[in-house]
Amino acid sequence: MTTQTATALAPLSIDHAIDHYLARTAGRFDRVVAELVLVEPTTCDIDLAGRTLDRMIETVAGLAIGSLVGAVIAGVRRGFDAEVRARVELAVARTIGKIAPPALQLHGLDVAPVRSLALEVQQRVRRRISVAARDARVLLTAIAAAVDEPRVFVRLVGLLADDVVISERYGELVAAGWQCAVAVIERRAAEATATVWRQWAQRINGVRELVPPTRRELAAAGFILQIG
C-alpha cells in the first residue's frame, strides 16, 4: 500500500469531523437565511422594534446552537446505549453554562434615511450564526469526549454534514420567528405555531404560559434539553 493510499484511507480525527460538520451545516444556515423573503413591518415605535429585534436575534442564535448540537444528540440517542446517552446529556448540561453571550457588538446602527428592519435582521442573524457555530463546537467536543466509540461518532457527524434537512428546519424557525417579531412590532396578536415562538411572543407581551411544553415539543422547537 502506498503512502498516498494509506493517507486517503485514514479516518478523520474527531476535531476535523466536528469542524467539517459545522462548516457545512452552518454554511447552509447562512445561505438559507440569506434567501429568506421577509416582510417589512409597519413600525410606529422604533424602541419597541429595536428591543424586539435584539430578543429575536439571541433566540435565533440559541436555535442555531440547538439545531447544530441537537442533531448530533438525536443521532447519539439512536445509535448508542442508555449509559452513553446519559453521559452525553450530563456533559451537555455541564458545558452549556460555560457558553457566554458574544462580548463584541455584532451589528452597527443603520444610518440610512429609511431603515429596513427585515434587511437588518437578516444581516444580524447571519453574523450571529458564525458565533453560534463556535459555541456549538464547545458542546460537540464535550459530547465526543463522553462517547466511548470515536470512530462511530466521526461517522455520525460525517453523515450529518450532508443532511440538508437540518438547515431547512432552521430556516423555517427563523421565518416563523420573524412573523412573530413583526406581530409584536405592529402591536397585534402573534399567531405562532412553533412552541418556541409562541412562548417568546407571550413573554415579550408579559403573558406566562401555565402549561409547560413537553420534551417532544422542546426537541421539535430546537432546544437541546430542558434545565429547571
pLDDT by residue, tens only, the chain of 228 residues: 444 443 343 456 999 999 999 999 999 999 999 999 999 998 888 888 888 999 899 889 989 999 999 999 999 999 899 999 999 999 998 998 877 666 544 444 455 556 789 999 999 999 999 899 999 999 999 999 999 888 999 999 999 999 999 999 999 999 999 998 998 899 887 776 667 777 777 777 665 554 455 555 555 554 554 433
How many domains, the chain?
Answer: 1
What single-letter amino acid sits at 206?
A: G
Q: Does 228 fall in a domain?
A: no
Assigned domain for 181 exists: yes
Question: Is the model's pTM score more than 0.85?
Answer: no
For residue 20, tell me if it sits in a domain: yes
Contacts of 120 (CB under 8 A, 6+ apart): 53, 107, 110
Domain, as residue range, for 27: 12-221
**Three cell numbers written together for 18:** 466536528
> Dihedral (C-alpha) 28, 126, 33, 73: value to the nearest 10 degrees?
50
Q: Residue 5: inside a domain, yes or no?
A: no
Is residue 4 assigned to a domain? no
Segment (H or E) for 48: helix 46-79
The sign one gets for the Cα dihedral 184, 217, 102, 100 is positive
Classify residue 2: in a domain, yes or no: no
Q: Other C-beta atoms within 10 Å of 16: how many? A: 13
3 found inside a domain: no
Q: What CA–CA distance (Å, rounded) separates 140 from 18?
A: 7
